[in-house]
Structure 1
Amino acid sequence: MLAVAALLACAVSAVGAIPLPAEDWGYTTVRPGAHVFWWIYRGDQASDPNAPLVLWQQGGPGASSTGFGNFLEVGPVDVSGMPRNTSWTKTSGALLFIDNPVGSGFSYVDHPSLLTTTNAELASDYAAVLQDVLGKYDSLSKRPMFMFCESFGGHMVPAYATAVLDAVAAGKFEANLKGIALGDSWVSGVAYTDTWVPYLRQLSVLDSRDEAALQPVVDAVSSAVKQGRWQDATNQWGNLENAIGETADDVDWYFSIWHHVSGNEATPPEHDRAGRYSRIARAMENPLARRQLAAYHAESLDQLMNGPIRAKLNNKSGFVIPANVTWGGQSGAVFETLGVEFMKDVTPVVDALLKSGKIRVNVYQGALDLICCTPGTELWMKNLTWSGMQSFYQTQKTPIYPRPGDMNTGAFAKTHGILSMYYLTRSGHMAPGAPSIGGMPDTMFKIHQQIIAAGGP
């Protein structure tokens, strides 16, 4: 009887599935009062059943995948509405953006108590959205699936991948996850806070006097982490960023280590001489949230999402963004609520995925990124205990040239088994983005293609 019921459920699901339109969007209510927004595009390779489903996860936490990742990095058009030559729709069967954690972008909660506070809660919400979306469209669940991410997205995605693999193994839904790609990712906060000062010292941005003066601030972060004082560790991390900004003439955390911004990073919005804070960012009461999320809330993007895009989305029959929901309006609260999660180390989760042998793990890194600097990434990777690590270290890296005939090295790559590492030579934090925000879109597009071509284990 149970077998018959299961067959009937599958039949209903199959009948309900529809061909993927050129684009679609919607809300998934992951818990009563918690509504996650998603946006999916049919890729140029949709006619090929083996063309992948590519997922993109933004960082922050609180930044919007459907806004920043979509219009400023890998979606089909940019903020001006112009086609993007390096859009990841060109190499995929489908491209999916999800505004998770709930409260990011157009996602929203009916009450602040419904915001997530742990990676487990984040992963549970994400799996619920994915189950919903995969069930809507014919054959989407059978496509090879790859999760790409950036920044704090790399803190969340290992947990997402684990949740998806567990759900599939338990028969909760069907998905064909082949790999994850952690881009400039906040996997271990303390690995980055421990390496910022020596990295800037090596680059002559700081000198020995600066290094000595900053060391107690670094130690305060490490101490809080070791003692499991997670909210305090996040606060101490903020203090360290402030101290480095004051000492290093506001070195840019995202665009490039060689770039400096006018006005102090901790400057209140009303005294924001650099013009970094949009209307949305200015409304964030928490100074840490305001500083970190300002990079994802340029005024032009805020105006686009809360103007023409909102109108376009609401034009879909049966879909409504509630009048009291503003794109990015709850982002600051998302960041603040996840303060207890922010500095936790998810290296063991990455390690477990490698040891499982079920998916490929890819890491890509902008050489000019400071917030998730290359030395910090290499430090947390040294804590991986997967059996292939020694062979990985001994593997010769190879150059990547972004275009035929262009011998200006765009990146270096090394692969052993199911682990790959890519070093983008002239990229900041937002590697797939335009050069205007510190990215190397042509090189990242080629890396994206290589990751997809490698497939699963």
Structure 2
Amino acid sequence: MEVRWYVLYGNHSIVIEVRPGGHMFYWLFYTKDGDVPSCADRPLIIWLQGGPGSASTSYGNLAEVGPIDLDSRMRDSTWVKHFNVLFIDQPLGTGFSYLEEHTKFPENNRELGSDLVSFMKGFYGRHRAFQKVPLHIFGQSYGAKVAAEFALQLQDGQNRGQICFQLISVNLVSPWISPLHSVMSWGRILLRIGAVDEQMYKKIHAASLQVAHLMRRNLWSDASNQMFIVQRLIAAQRIGLYNFMDRSEESTELREAQIMNGPVRIALNLSDNLQFEGSSNFVFDRLSNDFMKPALTTGKII
């Protein structure tokens, strides 16, 4: 992996303290649109990865929409060509974001939104030119659930005169805002496309009904664990959970961690004491009681 690729694009990264002991890392890529005199003449996109516990700066950036891919090659098509893109490692404990000892981990969506609003206050304090730039928030999967709450709290902060910004849109990408609808659809879709037979469909459907049963009893953490049982049934058929056409079973987590703790750390001049957590199980565990709770009301409000 060559360090030089990660410094070719104008970018900025730093850790912002969002509350005592809680430090949130971001990686900002300035637009490469040559038709504008300043990056402040193009909108700002915020990308929030899902999980919870998956890092925006690695998966969202390197594996999805950033200017450089997992093979350290420049992408022909990237949002950075036309927009400023801000990847935020959230929740705290994800990616290069971290908490000091004895600092409380966020345990629900409201706390996640609060940390992000605090982050944006610090971000706009460091990048004042972006306060007047059109803002678009993108959240993927669980990140979409967070994005909805974040936008709601951000708007409330502006109404109170606590923060100034120009929010234009909130974009929910494959949103995890109605988990039960998502889980109940998996088996049916796989049966219709011929990825599983009738017998396997019945097993998936029965396991999915158990998720619904636990949710009706407000046993949210148990429902999260049961959801993983459904996923394991599907994965055992060598069906990709993100792409049912992908049967390679290849995980990018190890490659992401190697890149982030290696060439990216060097390029961004980060301390060796800052360890990258690309997919934090601990973060997920702390949010497992909130994971299966729907956020449809929040989505409708925004």
Q: Is the pair's TM-score, using the shorter chain for normalization, greater than 0.5? A: yes
User: Which position in structure 2 is the counterpart of 1:44?
Assistant: 32
Q: 1:344 aligned to 2:293?
A: yes
User: Which position in structure 1 is the counterpart of 2:15?
Assistant: 27
Give the distance between the partners of 1:24 and 1:244, measured in 2 at CA.
Answer: 40
Query: 1:218 deviation in Å?
Result: 1.4
Checking the alignment, whether the CA contact within 8 Å between 1:66 and 1:98 is kept in structure 2 is yes
Secondary structure at the residue paired with 1:231?
helix
User: Which position in structure 1 is the counterpart of 2:106?
Assistant: 116
Checking the alignment, whether the CA contact within 8 Å between 1:116 and 1:122 is kept in structure 2 is yes
User: Which position in structure 2 is the counterpart of 1:199?
Assistant: 189
User: Which position in structure 2 is the counterpart of 1:69?
Assistant: 60
Give the distance between the partners of 2:181 and 2:101, measured in 1 at CA.
Answer: 34
Query: 1:171 deviation in Å?
Result: 0.5
Among residues 140, 143, 165, which one is paired with 1:175 in the alignment? 165
Give the distance between the partners of 1:169 and 1:187, measured in 2 at CA.
Answer: 25
User: Which position in structure 2 is the counterpart of 1:86?
Assistant: 77
TM alignment of 1:136-285, pairs within 5 A: 136-246=126-236, 249-254=237-242, 256-261=243-248, 276=250
The residue identity in structure 2 corresponding to 1:44 is: K
Residues 112/185 of structure 1: CA separation in 2 closer, same or farther (3 Å cut) = farther
Checking the alignment, whether the CA contact within 8 Å between 1:63 and 1:296 is kept in structure 2 is no
Q: Which has the higher contact order (CA 8 A, sep 6+)?
A: 2
The residue identity in structure 2 corresponding to 1:221 is: V
Residues 189/135 of structure 1: CA separation in 2 closer, same or farther (3 Å cut) = same
Give the distance between the partners of 1:130 and 1:308, measured in 2 at CA.
Answer: 27
Per-residue displacement from partner, 1:103-147 (whole Å, max 9, x unpaired)? 110011123752211000100111111111112123211000001
Among residues 255, 262, 266, which one is paired with 1:307 in the alignment? 262
Per-residue displacement from partner, 1:418-438 (whole Å, max 9, x unpaired)? xxxxxxxxxxxxxxxxxxxxx
Q: 1:321 aligned to 2:276?
A: no
Checking the alignment, whether the CA contact within 8 Å between 1:50 and 1:144 is kept in structure 2 is no
Per-residue displacement from partner, 1:25-53 (whole Å, max 9, x unpaired)? 11111121111101112212463654201
Query: 1:68 deviation in Å?
Result: 1.7
TM alignment of 1:128-139, pairs within 5 A: 128-139=118-129
Give the distance between the partners of 1:156 and 1:97, measured in 2 at CA.
Answer: 14
Per-residue displacement from partner, 1:432-457 (whole Å, max 9, x unpaired)? xxxxxxxxxxxxxxxxxxxxxxxxxx
Checking the alignment, whether the CA contact within 8 Å between 1:230 and 1:343 is kept in structure 2 is yes
Give the distance between the partners of 1:41 and 1:215, measured in 2 at CA.
Answer: 43
Checking the alignment, whether the CA contact within 8 Å between 2:67 and 2:78 is kept in structure 1 is yes
Secondary structure at the residue paired with 2:268?
helix
Residues 206/97 of structure 1: CA separation in 2 closer, same or farther (3 Å cut) = same
Secondary structure at the residue paired with 2:241?
coil
Give the distance between the partners of 1:244 and 1:71, measured in 2 at CA.
Answer: 26
Query: 1:241 deviation in Å?
Result: 1.4
Give the distance between the partners of 2:137 and 2:82, measured in 1 at CA.
Answer: 14
Gaps spanning 5+ residues in structure 1: where? 1-20, 262-273, 277-294, 315-319, 354-457
Residues 335/80 of structure 1: CA separation in 2 closer, same or farther (3 Å cut) = same
Query: 1:187 deviation in Å?
Result: 1.6
Secondary structure at the residue paired with 1:36?
strand
The residue identity in structure 2 corresponding to 1:22 is: G
Give the distance between the partners of 1:258 and 1:43, measured in 2 at CA.
Answer: 33
Checking the alignment, whether the CA contact within 8 Å between 2:56 and 2:87 is kept in structure 1 is yes
CA RMSD in angstroms, aligned pairs only: 2.0
Q: 1:335 aligned to 2:284?
A: yes
Checking the alignment, whether the CA contact within 8 Å between 2:24 and 2:90 is kept in structure 1 is yes
Secondary structure at the residue paired with 1:221?
helix
The residue identity in structure 2 corresponding to 1:257 is: F
Give the distance between the partners of 1:190 and 1:296, measured in 2 at CA.
Answer: 27
The residue identity in structure 1 corresponding to 2:234 is: I
Rg bigger for which structure?
1
| TM-score, length basis structure 2 | 0.89
Give the distance between the partners of 1:208 and 1:24, measured in 2 at CA.
Answer: 52
The residue identity in structure 1 corresponding to 2:292 is: M
Give the distance between the partners of 1:112 and 1:196, measured in 2 at CA.
Answer: 39
Checking the alignment, whether the CA contact within 8 Å between 2:95 and 2:277 is kept in structure 1 is yes
Per-residue displacement from partner, 1:392-441 (whole Å, max 9, x unpaired)? xxxxxxxxxxxxxxxxxxxxxxxxxxxxxxxxxxxxxxxxxxxxxxxxxx
Checking the alignment, whether the CA contact within 8 Å between 1:108 and 1:330 is kept in structure 2 is no
Secondary structure at the residue paired with 1:205?
coil
Residues 259/313 of structure 1: CA separation in 2 closer, same or farther (3 Å cut) = closer
Give the distance between the partners of 2:214 and 2:271, measured in 1 at CA.
Answer: 40
